[in-house]
Amino acid sequence: MNQQESSITSLVAAFSRAYHSQFDTPKIFDDYIAKELISQEEYQNIQANLIQGIAFFNKDIATKFKDNSKELIKWITQVQLSPTPLARAAYCERVLHSEIQLGVEQYVILGAGFDTFPYRQQQGQTMLEIFEVDYPATQASKMKRLQEASLPLLNHLHFVPMDFTKQFQSQLFSEQGFQSKKTFFSLLGVSYYLTKDELASLLNHLFALVPSGSSIVLDYADETLFTEKGLSNRVENMVKMAAVGGEPMKSCYAYEDMERMLDRLGLLIYEHLSPTAIQELYFQNRTDYLCAFETIHYMHIVKK
């Protein structure tokens, strides 16, 4: 991605969370603030682009709902866009709340995009120091959007501008007040865009900053990423859209690959959720189109 441009994937992920908060029942993850970070014009443009591109996603659906734009938007959002951003956020914040009870004092959101956790956190969590790490352009866009939404910059929220696919700069953390305390990291929607060496290097640098017991939640694509088509070709579509958007997906992993890499780094897999487990946890008994995305797994990883 061009560092001078705000990430389009961040905007689309925010749109999917905003749509879910407004229109879907029951809620998997209620990001009721996401819509405030998207202008009405942007929201309408995203919907118009989705409708215009419906034939790319599914020609049969394009024909079936050609006179029903609301159903088209619902289908594309629930089938293609929403499942992973919703379920991974729900899982991550569930783990985070547990980690806070176990003494975590710092939360680092890597590839934060338009994450809204600091503005949704429950009373009693404000002692948690939060560090958002992302491209400078994406952070500048985020701060502008917060201002336009009349959401104040918070004293315990720190922005760390960094392209962590290049050279990891630990001093940028310390400049924002980061300390060697028990820390929880999230790396959501990022690992696919890194090479395997880049991911290993990033994890190595991160956990060098923190004591044992610190942990991370991340999502990753399994070894079928580039061969699995998925429901209505949505996996294949996801890979194609990422490439067209200038953010091509680079990596996928067998579970054993992840296990070996993490072991070399002194990290343990505390919990692993397969697509089947994610379906059971977050999508059971729904009557809409939402269901767990094929090929995407979640892990909670702890420093030994």
Q: pLDDT tens across 98-117, in order?
A: 999 999 999 999 999 999 99
- Comparing CA positions, the residue from 181, 188, 278 lying closest to residue 7 is 188
Tell me if 33 is assigned to some domain: no
The mean pLDDT of the chain is: 94
Please say whether the dihedral angle defined by the alpha carbons of residues 84, 85, 86 and 91, taken in this order, is positive or negative. positive
Tell me if 270 is assigned to some domain: yes
pTM of the model: 0.95
Q: For position 40, what pLDDT does the model report?
A: 95
| Angle between helices 196-208 and 255-264 in degrees, nearest 10 | 40
Tell me if 251 is assigned to some domain: yes
Mean pLDDT of 280-294: 98
Choice among 42-46, 89-93, 160-164, 172-176 with the minimum mean pLDDT: 160-164
Residues 6+ apart with CB under 8 A from 12: 46, 81
Q: For position 1, what pLDDT does the model report?
A: 42
227-234 long-range contacts, Cβ below 8 Å, gap at least 24? Answer: 228/294, 228/295, 230/293, 230/294, 230/295, 231/79, 231/291, 231/294, 232/57, 232/58, 232/61, 232/79, 232/80, 233/57, 233/58, 234/57, 234/79, 234/80, 234/293, 234/294
Q: pLDDT tens across 225-240, in order?
A: 999 999 999 999 999 9
| Strand 296-303 to 157-161 pairing | unpaired
Angle, CA of 112, 116 and 117, to the nearest 5°: 90
Q: pLDDT tens across 34-91, in order?
A: 999 999 999 999 999 999 999 999 999 999 999 999 999 999 999 999 999 999 999 9
Residue with tokens 């500048």: 140
Q: For position 6, what pLDDT does the model report?
A: 56
Q: pLDDT tens across 207-225, in order?
A: 999 999 999 999 999 999 9
Residue 228's CB is within 10 A of a number of other CB atoms, namely 17
pLDDT band (50, 70, 90) for residue 148? very high
Measure the CA–CA gap between 39 and 281, rounded to whole angstroms.
33
Domain range for residue 167?
83-303
Q: For position 206, what pLDDT does the model report?
A: 97
Tell me if 60 is assigned to some domain: no
| Angle between helices 8-23 and 40-52 in degrees, nearest 10 | 90
Q: For position 159, what pLDDT does the model report?
A: 97
What CA–CA distances, in Å, run from 208 to 12, 202, 212, 261, 299? 33, 10, 10, 16, 19
Q: For position 165, what pLDDT does the model report?
A: 77
Tell me if 78 is assigned to some domain: no
Tell me if 14 is assigned to some domain: no
Tell me if 7 is assigned to some domain: no
- Contact call for residues 235 and 175 (beta carbons, < 8 A): no
Type of residue at 247: E
Tell me if 73 is assigned to some domain: no
Could you give the number of structural domains in the chain? 1
- Contact call for residues 214 and 187 (beta carbons, < 8 A): no
pLDDT band (50, 70, 90) for residue 183? very high
pLDDT band (50, 70, 90) for residue 166? confident
Domain of 232: which CATH number? 3.40.50.150
